[in-house]
Amino acid sequence: MTQRVAIVTGAARGIGAAIARRLGADGFAVAVLDLTAESGADTVAAITDAGGRAAAVGADVSDAGQVEAAVAAVAEKLGPPVVLVNNAGILRDNLLFKMTDDDWDSVIGVHLRGAFLMTRAVQRFQTEQGYGRIVTLSSTSALGNRGQVNYATAKAGLQGFTKTVAIELGKFGVTANAIAPGFIETEMTAATAARMKMAFEDFKAGAAAAIPVRRIGQPEDVAAVASFLASEEAGFVSGQVIYVAGGPQD
């Protein structure tokens, strides 16, 4: 059998990089997609150094032209993509009364429009092959989180997106699921601590104390679930939202 191809968006660092490395170890040829191809170099090196196959691709997932070109380039370089991980994300936190139009539009643009554009581009290859796995990063913030009306809306929207894609593409052998992480240690959560003028260590300790398993999550905790959802044996799991938060969702 030829090697299956996976695209992971926002794979230059954090959760996306961990998922890309894990899928590389699982035997996928991995397209490491991020805003620039250069930024994906470390993730590509980690995969190839471990004996895997990977290529970096630059694209802004909220730009239709760049998404089409990037997915076509992946198909050309690595082969037709069958696994898509919609992971790229940004934060523009603010209380509603202070939130700007740009805070709203940019967060909705990257998460919601980005997942839509990427999924529409990749499903063509998946339906042609009668096989596919789509994994999209939601968040516990989908349930509501102070200061994140834009992000919570986008992450809740991605749950509806996932269920609808699961319904539409199931007959083509394609599953769609979402992972909703709680607190994961990445540059995104480090930036949140900095914005709140807290030392990251104190911020992490405070979060861990409120989590049933008494620790914060690591990118690898999310990658393990993504690995299962991207696998062939997960074929009867579709339209689900799996919370990876060290306890039940609120």
Ligand X SMILES: NC(=O)c1ccc[n+]([C@@H]2O[C@H](COP(=O)([O-])OP(=O)(O)OC[C@H]3O[C@@H](n4cnc5c(N)ncnc54)[C@H](O)[C@@H]3O)[C@@H](O)[C@H]2O)c1
Residue closer to ligand X, measured from CB, 29 or 112: 112
- What Cα–Cα distance (Å) separates residue 171 from each residue in 81, 131, 146, 239? 18, 10, 39, 13
Residue closer to ligand X, measured from CB, 52 or 246: 246
Output the six-digit token pair for 204. 């992490």
Residues engaged in binding ligand X (CB under 6 A)? 9-10, 12-16, 34-35, 60-62, 87-90, 110, 114, 137, 139, 181, 183-184, 186-189
Q: Smallest gap, in angstroms, from Cβ of residue 20 to ligand X?
A: 11
Active site residues: 151
* 196 contacts 146 by C-beta, under 8 angstroms: no
* 152 contacts 96 by C-beta, under 8 angstroms: no
Neighbours of 166 (CB within 10 A): 19
- Burial (0-12, 13-18, 19+ Cβ within 10 Å), 199: exposed
Q: What residues have CB less than 8 Å from 171, skipping those under 6 apart?
A: none
Q: Smallest gap, in angstroms, from Cβ of residue 169 to ligand X?
A: 21
What does the alpha-carbon distance between residue 41 and residue 148 come to, in Å, rounded to a whole number? 31
Q: Smallest gap, in angstroms, from Cβ of residue 2 to ligand X?
A: 27
Residue closer to ligand X, measured from CB, 53 or 92: 92
Q: Smallest gap, in angstroms, from Cβ of residue 206 to ligand X?
A: 14
Between strands 53-58 and 174-181, the pairing is: unpaired
Residue closer to ligand X, measured from CB, 131 or 220: 220
Q: Smallest gap, in angstroms, from Cβ of residue 172 to ligand X?
A: 25
What does the alpha-carbon distance between residue 230 and residue 204 come to, in Å, rounded to a whole number? 29
Residue closer to ligand X, measured from CB, 170 or 199: 199
DSSP 240: -
What does the alpha-carbon distance between residue 181 and residue 207 come to, in Å, rounded to a whole number? 13
What residue is closest to ligand X based on CB?
A: 14
